[in-house]
Amino acid sequence: MLHVVIMAGGSGTRFWPASRAAQPKQLLQLAGPRTLLQATVDRLEGLVPLDSILVVTADRLLPAVREQLPAVPARCLVGEPCKRDTAPCIGLAALLVARHDPEAILAVMPSDHVISPGAAFRDAIRQAATLVEADPARLVTFGIKPTYPAEGFGYIQQGERLATTGPAAVHRVARFKEKPPAAVATEYLAAGNFLWNAGIFVWRASTIIAALAERQPECLVHLRTIVAAWDGPDRDVVFAREFAAIRGISIDYAVLEHAREVLVVEAPFGWDDLGGWSAVARQRGTDTEGNTVVGRHLGIDSVRTIVHADGDHLVVTMGVEDMLVVHTPDATLVATRAHEESVRRVVAELEKRGWKEFL
């Protein structure tokens, strides 16, 4: 049976001050009226029932996640006691699902991407599940056709194309590539057989567990100890102790780059990882003056400006071009859009100054 694992533990800092430690990107209404996490769950309707979804987040985010996903059963929401990258997260999810469904197929996905249309996404996941049903050894990844020489993504080099039925082209993975410098990214784009790694995976729970057992045996021992205590009184204590003892590592490093049967589905859907405020503007669109506004705004001689204001607060911009104004109840950011990539510097500076209330 198909299960979905949503990874929702991210703590992005690019959307500060809208995003905070206690309210990271996936919990924000950046692209529309639903938060990115809510939209991720909405997108699964018709693919899997709600109780076949496992949301893995950070334990401090659990109350907010519960509030945002009231229809998802509480037992389907897992809060990691600390951050240990994607391999431990996925391994734990696989073990938890496999307890009740040893033949389970998992679709693993981030919670903070914008994907549409939903039907194309669901069809692609189904196609990947079919590939895995046909050969349980397969690990299926999803790649996005690059539209510019992005330096911020990992790349997947497509190998031999498979003869498959279904809407999407499927290739063997020739090679995974780290985030490249600009010149290399340009080469990838020109080559035409490189895709952005979307961080979406489909595989059998048993297969990824076996892969972790081979490549990360210590990690798997800790995870099995956690799962053995899952339904008992010591769950929280064991979870905290054992998870903290695991070395953090991504599933790409831990498994994918070493595996033989890795396929890549060329995504037949629109995708945006929403890497910053300009991506928000792209998703939300702009008015006739090039402004993108969420909240209450009065613009006078203001163009190409992004305004994001909480609640009923009024933001007035006058005489500004290519600016970014983000208002929250306790902090406001005013930056040029050219500095959009530097929003992380603000967070670093706040940490340095010990202004924890704004993190």
Min dist CB 33 to a second copy, Å, is 23
Residue 182 CB coordination number (10 Å): 10
155 vs 157: CA distance, rounded Å: 7
The answer to whether residue 83 forms part of the interface with a second copy (CB under 8 A) is no
Min dist CB 25 to a second copy, Å, is 18
Stretch binding a second copy (CB under 8 A), from 109-117, 226-234, 235-243, 309-317? 309-317
8 A C-beta contact, residue 53 and residue 37: no
8 A C-beta contact, residue 263 and residue 139: yes
**What is the DSSP pairing of strand 155-161 with strand 194-204?**
antiparallel
The answer to whether residue 137 forms part of the interface with a second copy (CB under 8 A) is no
Could you identify the residue written with the tokens 């209450």?
Answer: 296
8 A C-beta contact, residue 199 and residue 114: no
318: three-class secondary structure by DSSP: strand
Min dist CB 349 to a second copy, Å, is 6
Binding residue (CB under 8 A) for a second copy from 1, 182, 237, 338: 338
Binding residue (CB under 8 A) for a second copy from 346, 351, 354, 356: 346
8 A C-beta contact, residue 139 and residue 208: yes
Min dist CB 331 to a second copy, Å, is 4
149 vs 255: CA distance, rounded Å: 26
In sequence order, what DSSP letters do the residues of 172-237 get, joined into one string?
Answer: EEEEEEPPPPHHHHHHHHHHS-EEEEEEEEEEEHHHHHHHHHHH-HHHHHHHHHHHHTTTSTTHHH
Binding residue (CB under 8 A) for a second copy from 61, 339, 356, 359: 339
Stretch binding a second copy (CB under 8 A), from 43-51, 110-118, 184-192, 298-306? 298-306
The number of angstroms, rounded, from the C-alpha of 115 to the middle of its chain's C-alpha atoms is: 11
x-or-dash string of contact with a second copy, 1-40, rule CB under 8 A? ----------------x-----------------------
The number of angstroms, rounded, from the C-alpha of 320 to the middle of its chain's C-alpha atoms is: 33
Binding residue (CB under 8 A) for a second copy from 192, 260, 300, 354: 300
Binding residue (CB under 8 A) for a second copy from 179, 289, 345, 351: 345
Min dist CB 14 to a second copy, Å, is 13
Stretch binding a second copy (CB under 8 A), from 44-52, 166-174, 258-266, 331-339? 331-339
127 vs 168: CA distance, rounded Å: 8
Stretch binding a second copy (CB under 8 A), from 61-69, 203-211, 267-275, 328-336? 328-336
Tokens for 257, please give them. Answer: 């780059």
Report the interface residues with a second copy, using CB under 8 A: 17, 298, 300-301, 309, 312-320, 323, 325, 327, 330-336, 338-339, 342-343, 345-346, 349-350, 353, 355, 358
